[in-house]
């Protein structure tokens, strides 16, 4: 085989490969564009990818020019759709949440509802859902009001709609607190790091099935957000002659998430950051 023929074959092979890759992207656009409002960010990324590829691709000049003209026109359409999607997102999300009795507050990119922050990232075409003022990242959803509202409902059910046996909870919390005291060689009434209490508490709160046979599939997760919400809604803070107290985190304890936890104080997203938990004599003032 001559060198000239090898060159022809290589050129044709490259052109075929470039054409196949570009065709795949164009078909992806065709699919996503059926739901343009939900896919503007992804469509924008594909158009940028197409424009980069045709700069390097071995394509017939007429075909290359046709793709360039289409990319330019479609990019403008997507930019307009993207702006419209961003503008509609907050309005439509507010309407969907109102059906649950929730009120949406704040301004783009950070919208607030109940204990949650919805952070809008219109570059990625997604939202991040946080517990509190960006304290605990809970989920990611597409930049879709319906999807964001659905995820918020699921998250709220998992965090705030769980049953709470207050008497059982405070007893197990005290037991977890005692475990940390023993490990740290501290005495009853001393302050224990709140996050160190969380791990033993999560084990103590497992049901009988797990306690009898501690398999992974029987373990029920107990997140920082669930712990924080339980501390918020706990009304029975007294255990015999002791009373639960939380130590507010000073600046020294707010640099690392392992040192503190944010606990809501109301239904509007206000709260306090705590670093320690302790049990003081009932009725005693916090020192």
pLDDT tens digits, one per residue of 82-124: 778 778 888 999 999 998 899 999 888 999 999 999 999 877 8
Q: Which segment, 8-17, 218-227, 275-284, is predicted with the most confidence on average?
A: 218-227
Residue 25 has pLDDT above 90, yes or no: no
The mean per-residue pLDDT over the stretch 183-206 comes to: 94
117: Cβ–Cβ under 8 A, 6 or more apart, which residues? 106, 110, 111, 129, 130, 131, 132, 133, 134, 269
| The pLDDT of residue 215 | 87
Q: Work out the pLDDT band at 170, boundaries 50, 70, 90.
A: very high
| The pLDDT of residue 285 | 66
Report if pTM > 0.85: no
Residue 287 has pLDDT above 60, yes or no: no
Q: How does the average pLDDT of the chain come out, rounded?
A: 88
Q: Work out the pLDDT band at 144, boundaries 50, 70, 90.
A: confident
Give strand pairing partners of 278.
Answer: 245
| The pLDDT of residue 65 | 87
Give the 3-state DSSP-derived string for 179-248, with helices as H, strands as E and coil as C: HHHHHHCCCCCCCEEHHHHHHHHHHHCCCHHHHHCCCHHHCCCCCHHHHHHHHHHCCCCEECCEEEEEEE
| The pLDDT of residue 286 | 58
Q: Tokens 């501690």 belong to which residue?
A: 214
| The pLDDT of residue 1 | 62
The mean per-residue pLDDT over the stretch 259-283 comes to: 90
Asked whether the CA dihedral 254, 257, 259, 265 is positive or negative, the reply is: positive
Name the token pair of 173: 């919390």
The mean per-residue pLDDT over the stretch 175-189 comes to: 95
The mean per-residue pLDDT over the stretch 42-60 comes to: 85
The mean per-residue pLDDT over the stretch 115-144 comes to: 91
One DSSP character per residue, 119-133 reads EEETTTTEEEEEETT
* Helix/strand/coil for 25: helix
The mean per-residue pLDDT over the stretch 240-260 comes to: 85
Domain boundaries of the chain, sorted by first residue: 3-86, 90-160, 166-281
The mean per-residue pLDDT over the stretch 171-178 comes to: 96
Question: How many CB atoms within 10 Å of residue 87?
Answer: 11
Measure the CA–CA gap between 233 and 221, rounded to whole angstroms.
Answer: 19
């Amino acid at each position: 085989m001559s060198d000239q023929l090898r060159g022809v074959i290589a050129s044709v092979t490259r052109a075929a490969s470039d054409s196949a890759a570009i065709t795949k992207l164009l078909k992806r656009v065709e699919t996503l564009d059926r739901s343009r409002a939900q896919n503007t960010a992804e469509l924008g990324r594909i158009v940028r990818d197409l424009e980069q590829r045709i700069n390097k691709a071995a394509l017939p000049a007429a075909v290359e020019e046709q793709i360039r003209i289409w990319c330019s026109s479609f990019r403008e359409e997507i930019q307009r759709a993207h702006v419209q999607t961003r503008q509609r997102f907050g309005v439509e999300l507010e309407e969907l949440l109102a059906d649950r009795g929730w009120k949406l507050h704040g301004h783009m990119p950070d919208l607030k509802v109940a204990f949650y922050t919805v952070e809008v990232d219109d570059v990625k075409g997604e939202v991040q859902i946080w517990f509190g003022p960006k304290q605990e990242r809970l989920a990611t959803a597409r930049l879709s009001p319906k999807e964001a509202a659905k995820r918020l409902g699921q998250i709220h059910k998992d965090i705030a709609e769980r049953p709470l046996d207050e008497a059982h909870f405070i007893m197990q919390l005290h037991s977890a607190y005692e475990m940390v005291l023993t490990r740290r060689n501290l005495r009853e009434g001393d302050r224990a790091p709140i996050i160190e209490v969380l791990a033993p508490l999560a084990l103590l709160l497992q049901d009988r099935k797990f306690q009898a046979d501690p398999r992974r599939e029987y373990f029920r997760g107990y997140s920082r957000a669930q712990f924080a919400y339980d501390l918020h809604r706990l009304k029975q803070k007294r255990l015999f002659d002791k009373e639960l107290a939380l130590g507010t985190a000073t600046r020294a304890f707010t640099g690392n998430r392992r040192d503190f936890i944010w606990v809501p104080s109301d239904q509007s997203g206000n709260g306090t950051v705590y670093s320690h938990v302790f049990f003081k004599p009932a009725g005693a003032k916090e020192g």
